[in-house]
Amino acid sequence: MEFVVSSSVILRATTTLGGIISSSSSLPILDNFLFEQKGGRLTISASDMETTMMSTIEVEGSGEGKVAVPAKMLLEILKTFPEQPITFSTDEAAHLLNINYGGADSEGTCDIPYEDADEYPQMPAMENVTQTVVTSEILASAIQKTLFATGNDDMRPVMSGVLFKFTPDGLIFVATDAHKLVKYVREDISSPVPVEFIMPKKPLNIMKSMMAGVACDVTITFNQTNARFQTDDIVIVCRLIDGKYPNYEAVIPKENPNQLVIDRTLFQNSLRRIALFSNKVTHQTRLSLSPNEVLISAEDRDMGKKAVEKVPCAYRGDKMDIGFNSRFLLEMLGNLESKDVTIDMSAPNRAGILRPVESP
Q: Whole-angstrom Cα distance, residue 141 to residue 190? A: 16
Q: Whole-angstrom Cα distance, residue 178 to residue 75? A: 39
CA 257 to chain centroid, in Å, comes to 35
pLDDT tens figures, 77-114: 999 998 999 999 999 999 999 999 987 677 899 999 99
Statement: residue 270 has pLDDT above 70 = yes
Quote the pLDDT of residue 210. Answer: 85
Quote the pLDDT of residue 161. Answer: 96
Statement: residue 271 has pLDDT above 90 = yes
Quote the pLDDT of residue 212. Answer: 77
Quote the pLDDT of residue 213. Answer: 76
User: Which residues 6+ apart lie within 8 Å of 162 measured at CB?
Assistant: 142, 143, 146, 147, 150, 173, 174, 175, 198, 199, 201, 204
Quote the pLDDT of residue 104. Answer: 66
Quote the pLDDT of residue 63. Answer: 76
Quote the pLDDT of residue 333. Answer: 96
Quote the pLDDT of residue 195. Answer: 87
- The better pLDDT of the pair 34, 213 is held by 34
pLDDT tens figures, 166-190: 999 999 999 999 999 999 999 988 8
Cα(first)–Cα(last) distance of the chain, in Å? 58
- The better pLDDT of the pair 15, 191 is held by 15
Going by pLDDT thresholds of 50, 70 and 90, the confidence category of residue 360 is low
Statement: residue 211 has pLDDT above 90 = no
Q: Whole-angstrom Cα distance, residue 253 to residue 16? A: 40
The CATH H-level (homologous superfamily) assignment of domain 253-356 is DNA Polymerase III, subunit A, domain 2 (3.10.150.10)
Statement: residue 275 has pLDDT above 80 = yes
Quote the pLDDT of residue 73. Answer: 95
The CATH H-level (homologous superfamily) assignment of domain 2-119 is DNA Polymerase III, subunit A, domain 2 (3.10.150.10)
Quote the pLDDT of residue 146. Answer: 96
CATH 3.10.150.10 fits 130-249, yes or no: yes
Domain chopping of the chain, boundaries? 2-119, 130-249, 253-356
Going by pLDDT thresholds of 50, 70 and 90, the confidence category of residue 246 is very high
Contact 98, 91 (CB under 8 A): yes
pLDDT tens figures, 305-347: 999 999 999 999 999 999 999 999 999 999 999 999 999 999 9
Q: What percent of the chain lies above the pLDDT cut of 90?
A: 79
Instruction: Name the phi and psi angles at 244, rounded to 5.
Output: -100, 130
Most confidently modeled of 23-32, 104-113, 208-217, 296-305? Answer: 296-305
- Using only C-alpha atoms, the chain has a radius of gyration, in whole angstroms, of 25
pLDDT tens figures, 136-158: 999 999 999 999 999 998 889 99
List % helix, strand, coil for the chain (3-state, nearest 5).
20, 45, 35
Q: One fold for both 130-249 and 253-356?
A: yes
Contact 181, 248 (CB under 8 A): yes
pLDDT tens figures, 247-267: 999 999 999 999 999 999 999
Most confidently modeled of 9-13, 205-209, 213-217? Answer: 9-13
Contact 50, 65 (CB under 8 A): no
